[in-house]
């Protein structure tokens, strides 16, 4: 029976294939196209897209079908798919002005201004008087910073257009060029030409507002409101002006008009947000309940309700509101991101991360989900994952100040001062008085030991936020770098007075106490602070570092283990714990700790590097190599891993070209490392590049003149270059520094060859 059924199925399949193949592709594509157009007319876009794709499959060069497909994709929100199809359609139909303009406008939105101009020119070649094509070219020229040409092009379009469409574009370009007098004149012309067009009056008001003439902008809007009291666009603009001016009481009336007249979701949500901002939670909740009664508004209104309830401390109700949304739609991005934030604030970081990751998986392009992931990964010390998440946000929202600040913080923590400066300065370009960005710039410059460069942001911070605990802690660091212990201590004490939990200030005072030979004072301060906040991870980390410096390893171990108990995912504390074991020669325990870290967190560069170093010390080179390679797969700029892996290649007689690439990468990341200079020098020596070897080895000895190995390598390079006197001096110094080193025998043999 089964055999007969299979035979029937095969025959039927062959018959269908013959039927499809037998139809003329030209006829088939037209039939598919016709069906697609009918579906599109009926509003059945998904079905239309299928038919258009069928038509394109019959003839990939069917430009008309690709153009129709692009339009359908655009209406469904698939902008990327629409972009691709419009470009293909334009390529296939070079003489179709409409196709060229659509392709150009999509390029304009994508920021591909040169391509947009090319399509505009093609459209104008077909129809030189097309206002739409002229405006496309004008905007493309503006994008290319050719503002004079852009304005000229827009003026030409305005001369052809009896409506005010081209004049609106012209006014915007004149404003962009900085020609405010001409822009004002054009905006006024539009209002005179269309006195009943409220959007024209709002455009004029926005112009005045953007040029700092807020009172004139308000006058224009009030006159517009007198002409049309129920205009949604005017009331919305007036409300925005009042809110931005902090005249919240006056904003209520226009917001209510917008909500009553527009009767749309966004307007009512905006009014609810206004009630929330003005601490009128009952009115906000009542309005959100009305919006939630509409199935279209349920998710957004109920999520807003959850945020309001959580802010008021009504946490069970807040979680219940979000769960109600997620029961209807388990991947609702807004609800998942809010739940992630609530869980993180409540100390449930792993659950919060899971919620954010679920949101990102369901909507990969959602910047809010990636930002939530970044915040939690940063809080748990997973710096590489946090960097990746913030970077994803910037791909979608290049101007996200929060993500730029996140990257600046992480790069500063990771020792990448230049990268930290880059992102912090991006923020300062938009917000010159941003306290956090200024703090990062100051600390990054201090990390580079550039006191003069650090002084500028420090002075700005003193002027704008002298009472800030964060600012005072930064001042303490600055004075410490300058060697001014008295002012450093005073600043740290001010920081702690403003915020007793400021870990930077506590750490700074502890360092000063230890430097002043007052370890007991440091202990007492640490113990008193931790007695009040025994579970504060930042304060415990300060204590661990202090106890390690004082070589009180049992206390350091206790502090670090407590951090790991509180936050098992805290890789940084686990790494420090391993380092404490190493300091006590408990290498097996240290290795176990680092191996456990990389199992929990395979992307921990530090743990891989430390494990590699310990294994290398045990002469387990292959295992060490794997850890170094894993570290470099996560961060190719990791200098210790790159340098140590290069050295393994050198010692094992491996590929010197690969070793050189690794050492050069380490040199780029750590230009002041004597170890890296030594590795580079030895590689050059083995490759027969003696002049480069001497230069690198001299640098290593200059940076660390007491290292016998560096002296020994320099001596060999001098000997090979024929400089016997310098070689003898370097080798003899190496033997004096350590007569029993592993290189001592070869050093004596080389000296013997050099003679007296």
pLDDT at 300 over 70: yes
Angstrom distances, CA of residue 405 to CA of 249, 371, 401, 421, 434: 33, 11, 6, 10, 10
Full DSSP string of 63-79? HHHHHHHHHHHHHTT-H
Q: State percent of the chain over pLDDT 70.
A: 96
- Residue 192 dihedral angles phi and psi, to the nearest 5°: -65, -35
pLDDT at residue 326, rounded to an integer: 94
Give 211 or 540, the one with higher predicted confidence: 540
pLDDT tens, 371-397? 999 999 888 778 888 999 999 999 888
Angstrom distances, CA of residue 737 to CA of 424, 708, 742: 45, 6, 12
Angle between helices 45-58 and 25-41 (to 10 degrees): 170
pLDDT at residue 9, rounded to an integer: 35
Q: Are 237 and 217 in contact (CB under 8 A)?
A: no
Number of helices followed by number of strands (H, E) in the chain: 44, 0
Model confidence band, residue 16 (pLDDT cutoffs 50, 70, 90): very low
- Give me the half-sphere count of Cα atoms (radius 13 Å) on the Cβ side of residue 747: 26
Tell me how far apart the alpha carbons of residues 53 and 25 are, in angstroms, rounded to a whole number.
Answer: 14
pLDDT at residue 130, rounded to an integer: 87
pLDDT tens, 507-519? 999 999 999 999 9
What is the distance, to the nearest Å, from the Cα of residue 756 to the centroid of all Cα atoms in its chain?
63
Give 362 or 572, the one with higher predicted confidence: 362
Model confidence band, residue 569 (pLDDT cutoffs 50, 70, 90): low
Tell me how far apart the alpha carbons of residues 476 and 444 are, in angstroms, rounded to a whole number.
Answer: 14
Please state the rounded mean pLDDT for residues 196-222: 86
Average pLDDT, rounded, for the chain: 87
Please state the rounded mean pLDDT for residues 734-749: 85
- Residue 280 dihedral angles phi and psi, to the nearest 5°: -110, 70
pLDDT at 15 over 60: no
Query: 703: helix, coil or strand?
Result: helix
pLDDT tens, 708-731? 889 899 989 898 888 888 989 988
pLDDT at 216 over 80: yes
Tell me how far apart the alpha carbons of residues 668 and 452 are, in angstroms, rounded to a whole number.
Answer: 24
pLDDT at residue 745, rounded to an integer: 86
pLDDT tens, 34-89? 999 999 899 888 899 999 999 988 899 999 999 999 999 888 888 888 889 999 99
Question: Angle 496-499-504 (CA atoms, 0-180°, nearest 5)?
Answer: 60
Q: Around Cβ 297, how many Cβ atoms within 10 Å?
A: 19
Terminal CA-CA length for the chain: 102
pLDDT tens, 448-507? 889 999 999 999 999 989 999 999 999 999 999 999 999 999 999 999 999 998 999 999
Token pair belonging to 224: 């517009």
User: What 3 state SS string does 303-333 have?
Assistant: HHHHHHHHHCCCHHHHHHHHHHHHHHCCCCH
User: What 3 state SS string does 650-686 have?
Assistant: HHCCCCHHHHHHHHHHHHHHCCCCHHHHHHHHHHHHH
Q: Lowest mean pLDDT of 444-458, 583-597, 678-692, name the range.
A: 583-597
Token pair belonging to 513: 């106490």
pLDDT at residue 379, rounded to an integer: 85
Q: Any residues with CB less than 8 A from the CB of 170 and at least 6 apart, and which? A: 138, 151, 154, 155, 157, 158, 186
pLDDT at residue 756, rounded to an integer: 56
Tell me how far apart the alpha carbons of residues 504 and 525 are, in angstroms, rounded to a whole number.
Answer: 14
Tell me how far apart the alpha carbons of residues 326 and 304 are, in angstroms, rounded to a whole number.
Answer: 13
Please state the rounded mean pLDDT for residues 130-144: 84
Q: Any residues with CB less than 8 A from the CB of 22 and at least 6 apart, and which? A: none
Tell me how far apart the alpha carbons of residues 583 and 614 are, in angstroms, rounded to a whole number.
Answer: 12
pLDDT tens, 165-193? 778 778 778 877 888 898 889 888 888 88
What is the distance, to the nearest Å, from the Cα of residue 617 to the centroid of all Cα atoms in its chain?
38
pLDDT at 6 over 50: no
Q: Are 580 and 548 in contact (CB under 8 A)?
A: yes
Instruction: Render the burial of 227-238: b for 16+ CB within 10 Å, e for the rest.
Output: eeeebbbbbbbb
Angle between helices 571-583 and 553-566 (to 10 degrees): 160
Q: Are 662 and 649 in contact (CB under 8 A)?
A: yes
Q: What global pTM score does this model have?
A: 0.62
Tell me how far apart the alpha carbons of residues 281 and 589 are, in angstroms, rounded to a whole number.
Answer: 56
């Amino acid at each position: 029976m089964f055999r007969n059924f299979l035979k029937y199925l095969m025959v039927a399949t062959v018959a269908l294939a013959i039927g499809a193949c037998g139809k003329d592709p030209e006829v088939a594509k037209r039939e598919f196209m016709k069906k697609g157009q009918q579906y599109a007319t009926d509003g059945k876009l998904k079905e239309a897209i299928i038919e258009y794709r069928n038509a394109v499959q019959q003839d990939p060069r069917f430009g008309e079908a690709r153009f129709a497909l692009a339009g359908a994709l655009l209406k469904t929100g698939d902008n990327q798919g629409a972009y691709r199809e419009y470009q293909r359609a334009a390529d296939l139909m070079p003489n179709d002005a409409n196709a060229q303009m659509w392709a150009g406008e999509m390029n304009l939105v994508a920021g591909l201004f040169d391509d947009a101009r090319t399509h505009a020119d093609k459209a104008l070649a077909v129809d030189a008087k097309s206002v739409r094509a002229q405006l496309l070219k004008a905007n493309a020229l503006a994008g290319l910073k050719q503002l004079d040409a852009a304005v000229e092009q827009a003026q030409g379009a305005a001369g052809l257009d009896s409506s005010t469409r081209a004049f609106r574009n012209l006014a915007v370009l004149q404003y962009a060029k900085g020609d405010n007098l001409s822009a004002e004149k054009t905006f006024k012309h539009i209002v005179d030409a269309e006195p009943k067009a409220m959007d024209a009056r709002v455009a004029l008001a926005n112009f005045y507002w953007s040029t700092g003439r807020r009172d004139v902008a308000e006058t224009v809007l009030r006159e517009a409101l007198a002409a049309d009291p129920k205009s949604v666009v005017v009331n919305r603009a007036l409300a925005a002006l009042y809110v931005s001016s902090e005249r919240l009481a006056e904003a209520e009336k226009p917001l209510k008009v917008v909500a009553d007249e527009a009767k749309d979701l966004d307007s009512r949500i905006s009014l609810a947000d206004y009630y929330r901002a003005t601490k009128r939670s009952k009115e906000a909740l009542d309005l959100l309940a009305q919006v939630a009664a509409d199935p279209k508004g349920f998710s957004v209104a109920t999520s807003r309700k959850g945020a309001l309830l959580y802010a008021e401390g009504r946490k069970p109700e807040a979680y219940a509101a979000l769960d109600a949304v997620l029961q209807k739609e388990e991947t609702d991005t807004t609800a998942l991101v809010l739940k992630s934030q609530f869980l993180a604030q409540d100390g449930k970081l792993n659950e919060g991360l899971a919620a954010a990751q679920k949101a990102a998986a369901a909507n990969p392009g959602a910047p809010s989900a990636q930002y939530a992931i970044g915040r939690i990964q940063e809080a748990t010390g997973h710096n590489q994952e946090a960097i990746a998440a913030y970077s994803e946000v910037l791909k979608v929202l290049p101007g996200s100040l929060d993500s730029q600040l996140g990257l600046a913080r992480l790069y500063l923590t990771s020792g990448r001062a230049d990268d930290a400066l880059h992102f912090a300065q991006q923020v300062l370009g938009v917000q010159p008085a941003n306290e956090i960005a200024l703090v990062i710039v100051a600390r990054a410059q201090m990390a580079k030991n550039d006191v003069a460069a650090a002084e500028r942001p420090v002075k700005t911070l003193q002027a704008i936020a002298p009472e800030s605990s964060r600012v005072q802690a930064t001042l303490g660091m600055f004075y410490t770098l300058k060697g001014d212990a008295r002012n450093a201590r005073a600043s740290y004490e001010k920081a702690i007075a403003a915020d007793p939990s400021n870990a930077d200030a506590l750490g700074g005072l502890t360092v000063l106490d230890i430097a002043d030979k007052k370890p007991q004072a440091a202990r007492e301060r640490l113990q008193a602070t931790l007695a009040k906040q025994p579970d504060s991870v930042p304060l415990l980390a300060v204590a661990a570092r202090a106890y390690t410096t004082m070589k009180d390893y049992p206390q350091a171990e206790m502090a670090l283990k407590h951090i790991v108990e509180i936050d098992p995912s805290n890789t940084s504390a686990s790494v420090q714990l391993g380092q404490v074991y190493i300091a006590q020669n408990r290498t097996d325990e240290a290795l176990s700790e680092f191996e456990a870290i990389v199992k929990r967190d395979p992307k921990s560069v530090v743990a891989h590097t430390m494990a590699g170093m310990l294994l290398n010390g045990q002469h387990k080179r292959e295992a060490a190599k794997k850890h170094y390679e894993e570290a470099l797969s996560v961060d190719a700029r990791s200098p210790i891993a790159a340098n140590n892996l290069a050295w393994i290649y050198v010692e094992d007689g491996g590929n010197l070209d690969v070793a050189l690439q690794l050492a050069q990468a380490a040199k780029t990341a750590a230009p002041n490392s004597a170890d890296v200079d030594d590795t580079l020098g030895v590689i050059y020596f083995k490759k027969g590049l003696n002049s480069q070897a001497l230069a690198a080895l001299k640098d290593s000895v200059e940076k660390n003149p007491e290292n016998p190995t560096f002296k020994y390598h320099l001596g060999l390079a001098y000997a090979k270059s024929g400089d016997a006197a310098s070689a003898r001096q370097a080798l003899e110094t190496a033997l004096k520094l350590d007569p029993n080193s592993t290189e001592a025998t070869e050093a004596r043999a080389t000296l013997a060859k050099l003679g007296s």
